[in-house]
Structure 1
Amino acid sequence: MTVLISVWGAAPGVGKSTLCRGLARRLADAKLRVDHFREEEVLTRPQFAPVAEAFRTTGAVGPETLIAATGEFVASVLASGDDVVIADALVPFVPTLLAMGHDEETIDAFLTDLTEVLAPVSPVMVFLDGNAGAALSRAAGREGAEWLDQYVGKLARYGVSPPVTDAASAVRYLARERAVTLAAVARHGWHLVVIERADELSPDEVLHAVERGLRPWPADRGAAARKE
């Protein structure tokens, strides 16, 4: 059985990428075949070439394109024989759809289709919750002072709602993004693991909390399958 673990968070800087690296190492150490799908790879993996092309040519991407690309991705995962895919900020694409101006009714319909497409890889979402403002500050400290201005500018250009003009309004928008994402995933029956106050925990503490939430742990499933 292949499992897709999609990692999201309340804001950039909350620790998604660190968790993905830790999960990938932990599962690989358990002798599972792991594909670590990094956040930037959505624009480089061949299955998502139509998505990258849409962004390059129009600056936008439609739900149909995302569904088709995800279907290609699932087929490639199944063909690869990997046990686990760790995806950093990939599915369920809710932030992308919000940025493209889609309402919650459209997003809910999209999740119905997406959940069906992803069924063969048993999707799980891990959501790192926490203080979005603190997470943004941490990201800015790591990436440099210009990063936050660029991030705010990107959200402003998309015309998201509520509108973003500065860091404080970005935090307000991220609260909506969080709410819509969690509600949509919960309505469609995904296994959802929420790590509260993740920004206050060490990377090891976050990883251990995720391991507790992901029961049965994928490594245990893999061991059982190999015995059979």
Structure 2
Amino acid sequence: MSVHVVSVIGSSPGVGKSTLCRAVAEWLAGTGASVDHFEEADILTRAAFRPVAEEFAGGEAAVRPETLIECTRAYVDEMVAQGTDYAVTDALVPFIPSLVAWGHQERTLSRVMGELVRALEPAAQVTVVYVHDDPTRALRRAVQREGETWADWYVRKLAASPGTRTVHDLPSAAAHLHAEADLTLRLLARTPWQVLTVNVGTRTAQETFACVRDHLTK
């Protein structure tokens, strides 16, 4: 049996993506399955993604799409070779927020998505869990959790990137995230992957997890 890739991505900071990813990984491991939990920060430390870390270390402000594709292929091949049942990844495939921030347009993103589909072909199944909420509400929640200094950092981060230079405050960040969500859903709809969109709204973290668990056990 080949690996089942479960990629958990979010429409905005504050939607509970990492909390959900961790809960899914722990639940699957508790069933006796072998699970690789790829946390968001692991992209700079995992061997398969060393070229990504090297491009950043070389002073580049962006990573070439081809590098992301080849590293994803190497990671999936590694999981298949190890006989891993589930690869549960946090903010990995399909890299849309990063690619948009680096200035890539939809035509390029569509090509990258096609290449990622091919890179993931060794996997038995790919499920993308898209955790979605109204960006204004999600950002407000993120600020409550992280503080005003985080809000300033987040706005500066977006404003400094070629594809998100129109962002200058939290309302413009929310507008950008809304447009990015539409783009993400449009691109995901063109893939053969199973896509589960979870609108968190007023759901608790436990309710969000239960929704994803029920989907994965069908």
Q: What interval of TM-score do these two structures reach, taking the shorter chain for normalisation?
A: over 0.9
In structure 2, the residue corresponding to 1:12 is in which secondary structure? Answer: coil
Contact 2:11–2:130 (CA under 8 A) maintained in structure 1: yes
Q: Quickly say closer, same or farther: Cα 1:76–1:184, change in 2 above 3 A.
A: same
1:86-110 CA distance string (max 9 Å, x none): 1010010111111111110110011
* TM-score of the superposed pair, with normalisation by structure 2: 0.94
1 CA distance for matches of 2:42 and 2:127?
A: 19
1 CA distance for matches of 2:179 and 2:165?
A: 8
Letter of the aligned partner of 1:19 in structure 2?
A: L
1 CA distance for matches of 2:116 and 2:153?
A: 30
Contact 2:33–2:85 (CA under 8 A) maintained in structure 1: yes
Contact 2:70–2:119 (CA under 8 A) maintained in structure 1: no
1 CA distance for matches of 2:82 and 2:146?
A: 34
1 CA distance for matches of 2:81 and 2:155?
A: 39
* TM-score of the superposed pair, with normalisation by structure 1: 0.90
Q: Percent identity?
A: 40
Letter of the aligned partner of 1:168 in structure 2?
A: P
Letter of the aligned partner of 1:108 in structure 2?
A: S
Corresponding position of 1:191: 194
Letter of the aligned partner of 1:83 in structure 2?
A: D
2 CA distance for matches of 1:201 and 1:29?
A: 24
Aligned pairs (5 A) from 1:128-143: 128-143=131-146
- What's the CA shift for 1:25? 1.4
Count of equivalent residues: 215
2 CA distance for matches of 1:182 and 1:212?
A: 21
Corresponding position of 1:219: none
Q: Quickly say closer, same or farther: Cα 1:140–1:118, change in 2 above 3 A.
A: same
Q: Return the match for 2:115 from 113, 116, 122.
A: 113
Contact 2:104–2:163 (CA under 8 A) maintained in structure 1: no
In structure 1, the residue corresponding to 2:89 is in which secondary structure? Answer: strand
Contact 2:158–2:165 (CA under 8 A) maintained in structure 1: no
2 CA distance for matches of 1:160 and 1:171?
A: 15
In structure 2, the residue corresponding to 1:14 is in which secondary structure? Answer: coil
Ranges in structure 2 where 5+ consecutive residues have no aligned partner: none
Ranges in structure 1 where 5+ consecutive residues have no aligned partner: 217-228
Letter of the aligned partner of 2:148 in structure 1?
A: A
Corresponding position of 2:9: 8
- What's the CA shift for 1:19? 0.5
Corresponding position of 1:70: 72
Corresponding position of 1:225: none
Q: Quickly say closer, same or farther: Cα 1:215–1:28, change in 2 above 3 A.
A: closer
Contact 1:162–1:173 (CA under 8 A) maintained in structure 2: no
Q: Considering fraction of residues, name the structure with more helix.
A: 1
2 CA distance for matches of 1:213 and 1:178?
A: 21
CA RMSD of aligned residues (A): 1.3
In structure 1, the residue corresponding to 2:68 is in which secondary structure? Answer: helix
107-116 or 49-58, larger mean C-alpha shift: 49-58
Q: Return the match for 1:178 from 170, 178, 181.
A: 181
Corresponding position of 2:28: 27
In structure 2, the residue corresponding to 1:149 is in which secondary structure? Answer: helix
1 CA distance for matches of 2:54 and 2:201?
A: 34
1:132-168 CA distance string (max 9 Å, x none): 1121122222222201110111110003247100000
1:95 aligns with 2:97: yes
In structure 2, the residue corresponding to 1:8 is in which secondary structure? Answer: strand
